[in-house]
């Protein structure tokens, strides 16, 4: 195991968490929309700048529940990216839809709006783009295409907690775009509830419907509207969220320092490509991806992965393999149909990024990359 892992969970001081969970030992109300859950819901609405949201047990179930909200035609097609974590396409398939993969843009790894329309058929019902590494998709172009063709847009915003985008001079939270946006609050994310997630909605009515759907479809004691799973967030997870939310801005600031250290040292390394920073986006520095060009750098991506390991530093091939190259998809799909995504998957390495990583350690990691073989 490397000395420095690629990620490390943000956690409050033990005492802070103990204080937060103490009332639960009195109330004995430890799940089913208890006090902590309700408080976190309100605080997140305000932090994320969204109209309404419903908390879930994890980010994956947020995606699955969001796909149940609009009564979209069953077996319909949903256009998405293969350059993502398997959860995105799994949610589509498990909800009874067919994923149709479109290529990404090299400059930010998000779904390329120019590749969406050619994938639209009479069966298309929605687009599910992903804000990869916290890079916001081209929301304006995507939502224009969706409006033109009468499609829903459900963002997988698992990586984009706290990111803001400037649109026409106004800063908007990442959860406020599309018809719905889904977050993951997994332990490795910028903001975590250990395991958790949320569906951000446009109205309280929609959020209320997600609340039913995440609770077996129970409307009230005598009425069950849908055959739906259990996907509720418990009170201990919500309490962790309340603690972590107090510190999340400081955590993002610490991540920014790591990001700046990496960028300064790696900016001119031949054969190592960094994704550009954008003036219209306030970043959360969720990940630090680099793309290795073997010919120019003199070492393959896998070679660099190994080299970092030998120095005690973890790294992750994230996202590799491409979803369409995985055992459970490759019979039906071909990674070569999305060449930009395939190239990114074959050359990417995310290097350690977490709030407690010291800029000194970040510099040591970056210098190993500069030196190469
Ligand atoms: C892009 C993306 N989508 C969905 C998920 C699923 O979230 P979770 O692990 O909270 O279920 C994750 C994270 O794991 C992710 O990175």
158 C-alpha to ligand 1 centroid (Å): 6
Domain region containing 178: 14-243
Q: What is the largest CA-CA distance in the chain?
A: 67
Task: For residue 222, give Cα distances in angstroms to 203, 225, 308, 311.
Answer: 25, 10, 58, 61
Whether ligand 1 lies within 6 angstroms of the CB of 56 is answered as no
CA distance 371 to 213: 53
From the CA atom positions of the chain, what is the Rg in Å? 21
Q: Ligand 1: which atom is nearest the Cα of residue 132?
A: 1
Do 210 and 100 belong together in one domain?
A: yes
pTM: 0.97
Q: Ligand 1: which atom is nearest the Cα of residue 130?
A: 1
Whether ligand 1 lies within 6 angstroms of the CB of 57 is answered as no
184 C-alpha to ligand 1 centroid (Å): 5
Domain count for the chain: 2
CA distance 322 to 325: 5
CA distance 364 to 352: 11
Other C-beta atoms lying within 10 Å of the C-beta of residue 162: 23
CATH number at residue 346: 3.90.1150.10
pLDDT, one tens digit per residue, over 111-147 is 999 999 999 999 999 999 999 999 999 999 999 999 9
117's tokens: 């329309």
Contacts of residue 114, Cβ cutoff 8 Å, sequence gap at least 6: none
Do 363 and 258 belong together in one domain?
A: yes
Q: Ligand 1: which atom is nearest the Cα of residue 156?
A: 3
Do 103 and 226 belong together in one domain?
A: yes
Last residue of a domain, one of 243, 266, 285: 243
CATH number at residue 59: 3.40.640.10
| Three-class DSSP category at 240 | helix
Question: Does 85 reside within a domain?
Answer: yes
Q: Mean of the pLDDT values across residues 94-109?
A: 98
Output the pLDDT for position 115.
98
pLDDT, one tens digit per residue, over 20-55 is 999 999 999 999 999 999 999 999 999 999 999 999
Ligand 1: residue of 62, 129, 136, 158 to mutate (most ligand atoms within 8 A of CB) is 158
Whether ligand 1 lies within 6 angstroms of the CB of 186 is answered as yes
Other C-beta atoms lying within 10 Å of the C-beta of residue 39: 16
Q: Ligand 1: which atom is nearest the Cα of residue 87?
A: 4
Do 104 and 165 belong together in one domain?
A: yes
For residue 321, cis peptide bond before it (omega within 30 degrees of 0): yes
């Amino acid at each position: 195991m490397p000395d420095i892992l690629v990620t490390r969970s943000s956690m409050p001081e033990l005492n802070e968490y103990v204080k937060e969970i103490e009332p639960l030992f009195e109330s004995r109300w430890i799940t089913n929309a208890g006090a902590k859950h309700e408080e976190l819901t309100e605080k997140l609405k305000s932090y994320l700048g969204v109209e309404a949201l419903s908390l879930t047990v994890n980010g994956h179930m947020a995606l699955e529940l969001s796909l149940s909200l609009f009564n979209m035609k069953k077996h319909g097609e949903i256009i998405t990216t293969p350059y993502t974590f398997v959860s995105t396409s799994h949610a589509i398939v498990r909800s009874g839809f067919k994923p149709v993969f479109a290529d990404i843009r090299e400059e930010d790894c998000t779904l390329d709006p120019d590749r969406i329309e050619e994938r639209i058929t009479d069966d298309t019902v929605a687009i599910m783009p992903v804000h990869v590494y916290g890079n916001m998709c081209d929301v304006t172009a995507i939502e224009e295409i969706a409006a033109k063709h009468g499609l829903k847009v459900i963002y997988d915003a698992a990586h984009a907690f706290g990111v803001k985008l400037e649109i026409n001079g106004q800063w908007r939270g990442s959860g406020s775009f599309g018809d719905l946006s889904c977050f993951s609050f997994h332990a490795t994310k910028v903001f975590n509830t250990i395991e958790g997630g949320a569906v951000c909605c446009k109205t309280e009515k929609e959020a209320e419907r997600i609340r039913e759907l995440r609770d077996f479809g129970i409307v009230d004691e005598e009425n069950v509207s849908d055959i739906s799973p259990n996907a509720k967030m418990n009170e201990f997870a919500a309490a962790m969220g309340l603690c972590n939310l107090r510190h999340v801005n400081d955590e993002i600031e610490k991540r920014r320092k790591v990001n700046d250290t990496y960028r300064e040292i790696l900016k001119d390394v031949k054969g190592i490509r960094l994704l550009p920073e954008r003036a219209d986006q306030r970043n959360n520095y969720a990940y630090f991806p680099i793309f290795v060009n073997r010919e120019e750098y003199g070492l393959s991506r896998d070679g660099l992965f190994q080299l970092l390991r030998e120095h005690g530093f973890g790294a992750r091939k994230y996202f590799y393999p491409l979803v369409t190259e995985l055992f459970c998809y490759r019979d039906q799909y071909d990674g070569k149909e999305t060449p930009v995504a395939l190239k990114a998957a074959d050359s990417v390495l995310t290097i350690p990024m977490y709030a407690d990583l010291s800029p000194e350690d970040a510099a040591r990691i970056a210098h190993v990359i500069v030196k190469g073989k």
